[in-house]
Structures are given as C-alpha cells and as structure tokens.
Structure 1
C-alpha cells in the first residue's frame, strides 16, 4: 500500500430491460458491418445497443422530423432481431454475456427510501438508506467495525474487493444490516415541537447480523493497481426485507449504465473531519469530476494511479469528502426507474487520506461496468 494513495479501508470506495429484466435469445447482442446514412462505416446492432439513437427514441416527446428520417434511413437487418440500426461504432454499447435468467435474481422493488457524518456532511435519518451494510471483522479475537457495503438482493452485499481481501490479522466474518447509530440498541427518529419537547418518535426494529457464507472478488482486482476494486459477499441465510432493511437498485439498463449526474450521494460511518469514527450513519453530496480532470489532479499531487473508464471520480471540493472506514460503501443518486428510485453507480474504492482537507477527488469503482460480472457471479 502506498503512503499517499490508499485503499478505502482508509477512504470511503447490461443487462437489457426492454419490457422487463430478461434478455431473450432474440435480443442477445449481435452486430454486422454497415454504412450509416452519412456513408460512414458502422455496425448493424439491435437498437437498444446504439446509445445515442436509443436515448432519442426513448424520450417521451417524439423526435423531430429530421431525426426521425435519419433513424428510418439508418435501419438495417439482423436475423431474429425486431429492430436494428446502423450505429456509429463509438456509440455501440458492448454486448452482454449475462447468463439467461440471472437478472431475475435482482429485486424489482429496490432503491426505495422513506426520507430524503462523513466529513463535512450531514447526519442521516433512520430509514433513509435501508440498503446500508456494515462489515465487521475479527481482529485478534475482537469483533470490530470496518468497511461499508450495500444490500443488492436477499443474499448478497456489494462492496469493494479490498474490504474482502484483508490482512491476515483481520478477517471478514459478519455483515450487519439495519444499522444506523452504532452505539444504540434501538434507532429512532425523534420529533420535537418548537420548545424542544418530544412529541413523537419513529423507531426501527433491531439490527440483524449475518455470517459470511462465501465471497467473490473480481478476478482482475488490483491489475493495474486500484482497479476492478469490487466484490460480492454471500450471506449465510436469506434476508427478510423490512422497513429498515431494503436493497438498492443497480444500473441494469443501457440507459442507467451510461447515465451521469453532476453530483452523487455517499454514505458511511467513517472518520469525520475531527478524525473520529461516527456512531451515526452520515451522508455527503459530492460533485462528479470527469476522469481527465481527476487524472490531472492525481498527477499534480504525485499520486501513482492510472484511471480507466471503469472508474469514476467524485468529491474533493469545498472539503466535502469521504473518509476512513467508508470503503466499499455505495455512491448513489435518485433517478426515474419504474418511478423515482435510488440507483448505485459507484463503490467507494480509493483516494487521498485527507478527510476533506485537500481538494482531491475520491475514486469509485463504476458499478455499471461490472453488471455482467455481478449477474454471472450471484446465484439463488
């Protein structure tokens, strides 16, 4: 581990839906050479694989006549595919190799929050982020809290690979779900009147602890350094979803996989600006930083990391940052996916151990780039 760039034990770290979460044989990715309407070399692909065209035809308002004519002239034919188009190669979404039926293992009811102290962030309310998982480790016979993670279905938690592949003296043994304030047995939202007198409280059920049945880390983790930092934990029994324990949505559609926002929300129990671990779950809103700018920031600060398109950067401005102990936690934002839902776009991976004291973005593993691996790895 390098001194200046650290894994987020010291920092916080397509499936096609074309009428449903199922990839039929007819819709499986195919391609063939073709010429676009502007006589450029292209690839004939199912329309859902052509990012710029698919985004246009999915808009609620009809495209203009000119665009509609272009789409019509770009039509091509692929055997067994209902609607194909000659697409510019840079706009072609890579074909998926997801095993049939695997997407059914991800819940359709996900990413639902009843509410709207990472460094310089805000305390969260109970029930606000019900997918949060707290990873716990055996260190010399003592159970300690460590990384974060996110519940993605009734048996799996998504986290960073470095949270699973730990030092020999620390072993991942347990996952806690439904946690909010670590030093309280019962977590409650307390409502008070203008005089500070309690008038009502809304309390969650107790936390639930699950043993680790098995885990998988990405086969290319840390090749090159800090890349492919993603892993899956299989719990020892099925999770019963409750008001305070619910899964997060993943970016399963082509649109979600390519979607970018100006800001994201990150959550965790990590070190605050005072260098002390927070007992309560904290959240921070972090701005997205494009990879070119992020790479330049790394070079300016002599950080040995080479970013790829499978990573994204966020944070590092106005001293809003994620800190020690937030590794593996989710980077999320709310968008329309069968109604407004939170989608996980990143996993806290690596960054400067500054806790918001330096304006250097944090590095996140881009979840959309690993959907095939996730879906092929999970099992019933």
Structure 2
C-alpha cells in the first residue's frame, strides 16, 4: 500500500527465490533418471525429485528415443506444477478477489494530482457528507494539486467525482499539534443513494481481537512480476481481501520509528490471510462485523517488518470524529444563514 510520497510499497522476496528451475541428471548405470523441480511455495523453495525407472539398452536406439520422449512429458508436467505453485503464491499474497457488486459500496477513491505525480488512496463514506481516510493521503509538500474523491466508484453505476476544498480537509492533530495518520474530508455536497459504513461500537466486547479475521479493500497495485516485485498496475475492479489481526508488541519499536507521534495503543496490526493490502490502499477501512474499526496507515516498506500492516483504531479517535462532524455541521448552518 503506502510509503511516502507516492504511497507505493515494494514487497520483495529473498533474492534466491525463483519461480522454478529444472535439472535432469544423466541416466545412471541402472537407467534411473532423476528430474528435480524447485517449487516456490509460501516464499521458500521446496525441492521435489521425480524418479523414472527405465532400463536403457545402449543397443536399442528406438527404446532410448521413447524414453527421451517420456522425459519431455515429465519435464512439461514439472513446469506446469511449478508455475501453478507460483501463481497460487501470487494470488494468495496480493490478489484477494473482486468485490461483489453489493460489497463496499461506501468505498471512496481518493486522489491528489500536482500535474506530474498522482497519489492514490482509499477512503470510507461514514455519513452523507464525510469521508474517513489516512492523513498522509494529503501531501502538504505539494505546492499545487487538488484533492479529488470519487464516490460510488464500486460497482460504478452511481459514480461521482468531486474536488475537496482545502478548508474541508481535517487531519487529526494532538495537543502538541502532531498529526496522526487519520483524516476527515468534508464533501461539497450531500451524497444520496449510497449507504455509509457504520462507525464502531467502542467497547472490548465489539472490537476485533488477535486472530480475528477482518475485511479490507482497495484499488492498490495487486500484481507481481516474475521476480515477485510489485507491478504498477491497478486492478480494474475493487479488490476485497481478508486479513488476520495480530499483536503489535513484537514490532512496536520499529513501527514507533515509522510513526513516532502515534501512541502504541492506537494501532491495530494485521497480517495476510486471504490477501493483503498493497500500494494505493492506504486510507481504506478495516471492517469487522459490518463496522469500520480502523484506517490503513502503513505497511512493511515503512517499518521493515514483512507481514505486518498497521492501521489506526477508529475508536481511539471517536471523540475527535464526532466533534469535527458536529462542529462543522453547525458552522455550515450558520454560514448558510448569513449568506
């Protein structure tokens, strides 16, 4: 998903990992031929030996040729198995699945373009006028470039693009004016026909625990090349995936270096289960029991712990969310009255 400033993440595998390689040993004196296949499964190379026993008579050329033909078939089989294993790895780690037309209707595409670069994030419609996303999706270092959001982007039959006024961008700031990676965007007009995602019930009874499965989604890069590096190709359809909540403690020190201003208790960590977040998914919502519980902030590229993805818990920012929505709501009424 995201690293600064273009918010792309490169997921690399060990340099000695390859999709497959084949070796064929010369027939031994007893005619046994050994074919070796290296299948990439789960990021490590597993070796399988296929043995074909065939007594070869040097005088019988025809039989030798038939044996070599059999060898070619086995080689083909070996290649097929290896490619299949590699393809499964790619799908399992990145692919997830296409979201169904009834899922994630509240998902929002968030873009910022300064003419030469574009950043891509996700977001969630939490009311008919407000979007919840990640603060780093608004790059304040860019001196030009508007922020645009596309609501109804999935399944696409109610799509609408809007430009966000800079005055309607509200990143969270603590008492020391430090920004935490969560942000509210106020839309220029009310959205109809799309049901917002519900905010969480903030008690231990309802919040996700370690090993619980949670839902994520996004339009981030989801393909790998032959060397298992992320390819800058966005999927045509919104991708849905499941991740598993994990304990943040063992990664605390490295994550804290990446996000020094955010309290440890505000994090929710997750690891891949049936897919994982990748470049361009930042700001998207983590959903548990049909409520948004966290916002995706950063992944392994930021803190160097492969398999750990960091979200910010919505419940830790609930007072700020409610205060911002209510405060701006009354301010807009007053402003409208005096026009």
**Same fold, TM-score > 0.5, yes or no:** yes
Q: Secondary structure at the match of 2:301?
A: coil
Q: Residues 253 and 310 (structure 1 numbering): CA distance in 2 closer, same or farther, change over 3 Å?
A: closer
| 2:244 matched residue in structure 1 | 287
Given that 1:8 and 1:327 are in contact with CA atoms closer than 8 Å, whether structure 2 keeps it comes out as no
| Residues 214-244 of structure 1 deviation map (CA, whole Å, 9 limit, x = unaligned) | 11111139987xx72111000001111x2xx
The answer for the alignment partner of 1:157 in structure 2 is 131
Q: Cα distance 1:141–1:267, how it changes in 2: closer, same or farther (>3 A)?
A: same
Q: TM-score, normalised by structure 2?
A: 0.59
Distance of aligned partners of 1:228 and 1:267 in 2 relative to their CA distance in 1, 3 Å threshold: same
What residue is the counterpart of 2:151 in the other structure?
177
Helix, strand or coil at the partner of 1:279: coil
1:351 positional shift: 1.6
Q: Does 1:271 align with 2:221?
A: yes
Is the counterpart of residue 365 in structure 1 residue 315 in structure 2? no
Alignment match, 2:183: 231
Aligned partners of 2:94 and 2:276 also within 8 Å: yes
Q: Is 1:313–2:269 an aligned residue pair? A: yes
Partner of 1:250: 199
How far is 1:175 from its partner? 1.0
Deviation at 1:259, TM superposition (A): 4.5
Distance 1:131 1:209 in 2: 14
Whether 1:374 aligns to 2:321 is yes
Superposed, 1:1-380 pairs within 5 Å as: 9-10=7-8, 119-140=94-115, 144=118, 146-168=120-142, 171-180=145-154, 187=155, 205-213=157-165, 214-220=168-174, 228-240=180-192, 242=193, 245-255=194-204, 258-260=207-209, 262-274=212-224, 275=231, 276-295=233-252, 298=254, 304=258, 308-315=264-271, 317=272, 320-334=275-289, 342-353=290-301, 359-378=306-325, 379-380=328-329
- 1-side partners of 2:145 and 2:258: how far apart? 28
1:8 Cα offset (Å):
8.6
Give a deviation string over 1:142-183, Cα, whole Å, max 9, x none. 8x5611100000110000111124431563422111113xxx
2: distance between equivalents of 1:272 and 1:266?
13
Point out where structure 2 has 5 or more consecutive residues left out of the alignment: 11-90, 225-230, 330-339
Q: 1:212: how far off? A: 1.1
TM-score (norm 1): 0.53
- By how many angstroms is 1:273 displaced? 3.2
CA distance in 2, matches of 1:266, 1:353: 19
Change (3 A) 1:284 1:223: farther
For residues 266-291 of structure 1, what are the alpha-carbon distances to aligned partners after superposition, in whole Å with 9 as ceiling and x for unaligned? Answer: 10000113222222100111111112
Using a 3 Å threshold, how does the CA distance of structure 1 residues 136 and 359 change in structure 2: closer, same or farther? closer
Q: Which has the higher contact order (CA 8 A, sep 6+)?
A: 1
Greater Rg over alpha carbons, structure = 2
- More helix by proportion, 1 or 2? 2
